[in-house]
Amino acid sequence: MELYEFESKRIFMSKGIPVPRGVVIERIEDVNKVTLKPPLMVKAQIPIASRGRLGGIVKVKSLDELKHVVSRLLNTVIGGLKVRKLLIEEAVDIAREYYLSLTIDRVKRKPVILASSEGGVDIEEVARREPWKIIKHYIDPIIGLRDYELRRIAFKIGLRDSSLIREFMSIARAMYNIFTEFECELVESNPLVLTVNGRFVAVDAKIIVDDNALFRHRELELLRRECREYTELELKAREHGFTYVELDGEIGIIGNGAGLTMATMDLVKYYGGNPANFLDIGGGARAEVVKEAVKILLLNPKVKGILVNILGGITRADEVARGVIEALNEVNVRKPIIVRLKGTREEEGRRILSKVGIPLYEDMDEAAKRVVELVKGEGSGARS
């Protein structure tokens, strides 16, 4: 779960990390209660990157201009998300911008701290253009961060003044404490700025918490229920215990496991289609879960065809097949469905689906190519 910027900054503040003074507003009339001194930054509170390029971050020089910008941004749609909250902050006089984050390296299975003297831009672009400017330091999860490691990182990003090094170390350690305490996938400040007065301030903050750990953090679970924007179908998916994210395409995708589901989405895109969703039924899903997953895609008006790609280990192919059939029996909507089934009880699953004429494929490339053809009207023969 990705927190909104203002939520992340509240956590930063609680751990002693300096952030700009700011207020959150939800109504246009709340502008009259703002007592901050211009110039101000108006920031749309939506969990997407590149808000600035999409017009979601605006600098204003007066209260009159603030009213105009707030009326323009509030309740508008940016990046497909409706802006319901705005964070208004005092602008910071910036001397230098840095990047600082903590995340998980899933290959090495360790936390890693990333730092760079090139903050304020997409870190991916820095990695592509000047990768040597990104300092990467792996953290022993048993020992944690040690002072000499933080000192070395500060020196590598160009800090030489002893007081600035100590301040940087304090912020980095506080971010690491947030990372471990809340069981995060990411804690980031981009940019972490050095002001003209010689102080570090986190003018941006991002925290992404592992969904699997939310039951241990009830205060964050409450935020998810009260503040997150989910579609009706996404909320229904959560009730049934599987991960579903709506996208803008026309081909519905069901997989078991995030990696397989993402690979299936990539194949659909490669063959000229556009994924309508990410839907991971997880490992060991029973027929009931599969049924609800298929029903969600059948009920989504944007979905023109469905690709089910299952590589079964603890997930049984016959359970998947029964779930697909039950969904078709319960929903009076018919769309082309392509299925690729491999693994446990594969033969039984194929037998069940073949009885109702659902096309079955051995190869996931062929299955992805076929569903794209059907949705584009270039072929026939799928269950519809």
From 118, 149, 167, 188, the catalytic residue: 188
Query: Closest by alpha carbon to 372, among 205, 200, 253?
Result: 253
Contact 91, 41 (CB under 8 A): yes
HEC string of 63-94 equals: HHHHHHHHHHHCCCEECCEECCCEEEEECCCE
Residue 104, SS3 per DSSP: strand
Which pLDDT belongs to residue 221?
Answer: 61
State how far the Cα of 13 lies from the Cα of 3, in Å rounded to an integer.
Answer: 15
Instruction: Please give the single-letter amino acid code of residue 317.
Output: A
Question: Are 88 and 69 within 8 A, CB to CB?
Answer: no
Prior bond to 301 cis, omega within 30? no
Among this protein's residues, is 270 annotated catalytic?
no
Annotated domain spans of the chain: 21-90, 94-215, 232-375
> In this structure, are strands 305-312 and 251-255 parallel, antiparallel, or unpaired?
parallel
| Of residues 248, 250, 249, 327, the one with CA closest to residue 281 | 327
Type of residue at 330: E
232-375 CATH fold: Rossmann fold (3.40.50)
Q: Are strands 360-361 and 305-312 parallel, antiparallel or unpaired?
A: unpaired
Q: What is the pTM of this model?
A: 0.67
pLDDT of 62 reads 94
Question: Is residue 280 helix, strand or coil?
Answer: strand
In CATH terms, is domain 94-215 a member of 3.30.470.20?
yes
- Burial classification of residue 142, based on how many CB atoms lie within 10 Å of its CB (0-12 exposed, 13-18 middle, 19 or more buried): exposed
Superfamily of domain 21-90: ATP-grasp fold, A domain (3.30.1490.20)
Q: Is 188 a catalytic residue?
A: yes
Contact 56, 4 (CB under 8 A): no
Give dist(CA 297, CA 100) in Å, integer: 39
Q: How many other C-beta atoms can be found within 10 angstroms of the C-beta atom of residue 306?
A: 30
169: alpha, beta or left? (left if phi > 0; alpha if psi -120 to 50): alpha
pLDDT along the chain (384 residues), means of 10: 92 97 94 93 88 91 94 87 92 96 93 93 80 93 94 97 97 97 95 96 95 81 56 80 88 94 95 95 90 94 95 90 94 91 92 92 95 81 54
- Specify the pLDDT at position 212: 81
End-to-end alpha carbon distance in the chain: 36
Looking at residue 382, its pLDDT comes to 57
Token match 């984050």: residue? Answer: 101
**Helices (DSSP H) in the chain: which residue ranges?**
5-14, 63-73, 123-129, 147-156, 162-181, 218-227, 232-239, 258-270, 287-299, 317-330, 346-354, 364-375
Catalytic residue among 99, 176, 244, 361: 99
The answer to whether the Cα torsion of 351, 352, 358, 361 is positive or negative is negative
Q: Got the DSSP string for 124-172?
A: HHHHHH-GGGEEEEE--TTT---HHHHHHHHHHTT---HHHHHHHHHHH
For position 378, what pLDDT does the model report? 58
- Say what the pLDDT of residue 277 is: 94
User: How confident is the model at residue 81, as a pLDDT?
Assistant: 78
Contacts 24+ apart (CB under 8 A), 142-151: 144/176, 144/180, 145/113, 145/172, 145/173, 145/176
3-state SS record for 50-65: CCCCCCCEEEECCHHH
